[in-house]
Amino acid sequence: MIEIEAIRHRVETNTILHELSLNLGEGRIGIIGANGSGKSTFARLLNGLILPSAGRVRVHGHDTRAAGDVVRALVGFVFQNPDHQIVYPIVEEDVGFGLRNAGLRGDALSCAVTEALESFGLTEKRNQPAHLLSGGEKQLLALAGILALAPRVVVLDEPTALLDLRNRRKIARILADLPQQVVLVTHDLDMLDGFDRVLVFDSGRIVADDTPARAIAHYIRLMEA
Amino acid sequence: MLGIYRHGTSPLHRARPGVKLAGLALMAIALFLPASPAGIVAVGLGAAFVTVAGYGIAGIPSRIAIAQIRPALWILGMIFLFHAIMGDALTGALIVARFILLIALAALVTLTTRVSDMIATIEAGLQPLRRFVDPGRIAMCLVLTIRFVPVLANEAHALQEAQAARGGKRTGPSAFIRLAVPLILRGLRLSETVAEALHARGFGRNESFPESAQTRRGHAKPGLAQPDSEIDPQTEAHRDP
């Protein structure tokens, strides 16, 4: 459960997010909205990458302000461009990065890396340079690096924006099968099939909070206005 | 180091990075210690044997070995040319030959050593200096430098193409400046995102998000992140080695 209590967010004199209060408890939550509507800022608030100017965010009872490290261990974050998230030059080393930060060493680390690579079909690529992977493989690697840490919530900020249709579908299937709570920021409305709840952002406010069908209809009307 | 590691199980692959680095340092000293041409040739022949044997043991094809030296050939050519013009071609040839051997040996170390192992060794080596520098941060700087060279090279290529598509020249001082300025700006933006990614993936636990990035993104005031007051036992157990 993610509890958002009366948060506001400003950058200097610009209000990025107006006051918001809501709970996110559903398994699959989508976030859509125009560019600059506050979606990505909202997503970053959920794992404490950004702290709100006012109000608080709590993940499974942990405040992002008071217990940022705990929250970041609970909430995995996948960025739009995997090249910005992949830290080590070799595939298996990168999957191991977060695990080492979490304290894993030796055989436990090696087993966790192997398991993560197998889960994402990257076993054959484990010793390859990350920069030679395709865009889809890089995004899978980014996901593997996050999910290897077994977070309880996965927040994804437009993870399919740079991918072709095949890879978008692959990511959608992976997300559908995840046991974790998923919060997905996207412009790809097809990705929201089967989601429990969709929030529509506009100018820093949530203007619709509904089932995917109704929220998407609202979003389309908003874009056509 | 730029992702040229080649997976293998040879004794060289299995050797500890510290041993390989020490061996490389000894070879460098040995190569540049002799003063007489005869001594240089003798040591050079020995080093050449070690180099060829090393590549053979590691199972690295000759084309890969040659590819490691090729980028340095132009500067080595300049060194030789300078000496030849100054009337001492023999010294120039001996210097170039020693540099070629040294580059080949250094490449052999990187071809057979994972970056993570190399970084761990450097981090361990810096531990005696931890009162003055943070070995973890130094090691991370090296990792990021290695990792993001190809990423920035791609950015530069994309910028060049975009400029060429709009009639811009690809060569000359003005083309260089037109490329350098946006590339630096992209690099700075990239550094912010990478810092976020590092933070999101647990690097620098118990630290607040970097002050500069927080301010630019309009984060709450830096330093607000407090030490964990209520640690989830499950999470804490996960962290332990």
Instruction: Dump pLDDT digits (tens) for A37-55.
Output: 999 999 999 989 899 999 9
* Nearby residues of B230 by Cβ (< 8 Å), 6 or more positions away: A61, A62, A66, A67, A70
Among A90-104, B66-80, B225-239, whose mean pLDDT is lowest?
A: B225-239
**A66/B229 CB distance under 8 A:** yes
Cβ within 8 Å of B, A 127-156: 127, 129-132, 145-146, 149-150
Do residues A20 and B188 touch, judged by C-beta distance below 8 A?
Answer: no
Q: Which residues of B touch A61 (CB under 8 A)?
A: 230
Closest CA–CA distance from residue B118 to any residue of chain A (Å):
12
Kindly state whether A124 is in contact with chain B, defined as any CB-CB distance less than 8 angstroms: no
Report helix, strand or coil for A102: coil
Distance (Å, whole) CA B163 – CA B172: 13
Could you tell me the residue range of the domain that residue B162 belongs to?
Answer: 124-224
For every residue of B176-187, DSSP letters joined together read HHHHHHHHHHHH
B162/B85 same-domain check: no
The enclosing H or E element of A77 equals strand A75-78
pLDDT category, B235, cuts 50, 70, 90? very low
B106/B198 same-domain check: no
Domain boundary among B86, B113, B140: B113
Assess whether pLDDT exceeds 80 at residue A15. yes
Among A22-26, A179-183, B55-59, B151-155, whose mean pLDDT is lowest?
A: B151-155
Q: For A66, which DSSP code?
A: T
B133/B216 same-domain check: yes
Do residues B219 and B209 touch, judged by C-beta distance below 8 A?
Answer: yes
**A9/B218 CB distance under 8 A:** yes
Task: Give the rounded percent of residues in chain B with a pLDDT score beyond 90.
Answer: 33
- CATH homologous superfamily of domain A2-86+153-224? P-loop containing nucleotide triphosphate hydrolases (3.40.50.300)
State the complex-level ipTM.
Answer: 0.76
Confidence at residue B221, expressed as pLDDT on a 0 to 100 scale: 33
B185/B220 same-domain check: yes
| Burial track B87-122 (b if 16+ CB lie within 10 A, e otherwise) | eeeebbebbbbbbbbbbbbbbbbbbbbbbbbbbebb
Kindly state whether B193 is in contact with chain A, defined as any CB-CB distance less than 8 angstroms: yes
B100/B142 same-domain check: no
pLDDT category, A103, cuts 50, 70, 90? confident
Confidence at residue B206, expressed as pLDDT on a 0 to 100 scale: 54
* Whole-structure pTM value: 0.77
pLDDT digits (tens, 9 = 90+) for B186-233: 888 888 888 888 888 888 765 544 434 444 444 433 332 333 333 333
What does pLDDT average to over chain A?
92
Report helix, strand or coil for A62: strand
pLDDT digits (tens, 9 = 90+) for B122-149: 888 899 998 888 888 888 888 888 888 8
Distance (Å, whole) CA B1 – CA B115: 7
Distance (Å, whole) CA B24 – CA B108: 10
Q: Give me the half-sphere count of Cα atoms (radius 13 Å) on the Cβ side of residue A103.
A: 9
Do residues B138 and B122 touch, judged by C-beta distance below 8 A?
Answer: yes
Confidence at residue B169, expressed as pLDDT on a 0 to 100 scale: 74
Distance (Å, whole) CA B30 – CA B24: 10
**B197/A51 CB distance under 8 A:** no
Distance (Å, whole) CA B93 – CA B107: 21
B21 assigned to some structural domain: yes
For chain A, the domains span 2-86+153-224
Confidence at residue B205, expressed as pLDDT on a 0 to 100 scale: 63
Do residues A155 and A146 touch, judged by C-beta distance below 8 A?
Answer: no
What tokens does A80 get?
């739009």
What does pLDDT average to over chain B?
81
What tokens does B115 get?
């970056």
Confidence at residue B14, expressed as pLDDT on a 0 to 100 scale: 93
Overall average pLDDT of the B230-240 stretch: 36
Distance (Å, whole) CA B199 – CA B215: 16
Kindly state whether A48 is in contact with chain B, defined as any CB-CB distance less than 8 angstroms: yes
B241 assigned to some structural domain: no
Kindly state whether B4 is in contact with chain A, defined as any CB-CB distance less than 8 angstroms: yes
Domain boundary among B89, B113, B137: B113
pLDDT digits (tens, 9 = 90+) for A108-158: 999 999 999 998 889 999 988 888 899 889 999 999 999 998 899 999 999
**A103/B143 CB distance under 8 A:** no
Residue type, A55: G
B94/B156 same-domain check: no
Among A31-40, B34-43, B210-219, whose mean pLDDT is lowest?
A: B210-219
Burial of B9 (0-12, 13-18, 19+ CB in 10 A): exposed
B158/B85 same-domain check: no
Domain boundary among B63, B85, B113: B113
Assess whether pLDDT exceeds 50 at residue B3. no
Number of separate domains in chain B? 2
**A48/B232 CB distance under 8 A:** no
B32 assigned to some structural domain: yes
For every residue of A183-203, DSSP letters joined together read EEE-S-GGGGTT-SEEEEEET
What are the angstrom distances between the C-alpha of B2 and each of A132, B20, B93, B149, B153? 11, 18, 29, 7, 12
Confidence at residue B202, expressed as pLDDT on a 0 to 100 scale: 82
| Burial track A153-174 (b if 16+ CB lie within 10 A, e otherwise) | bbbbbbbbebbeeebbebbbeb
Assess whether pLDDT exceeds 90 at residue A204. yes
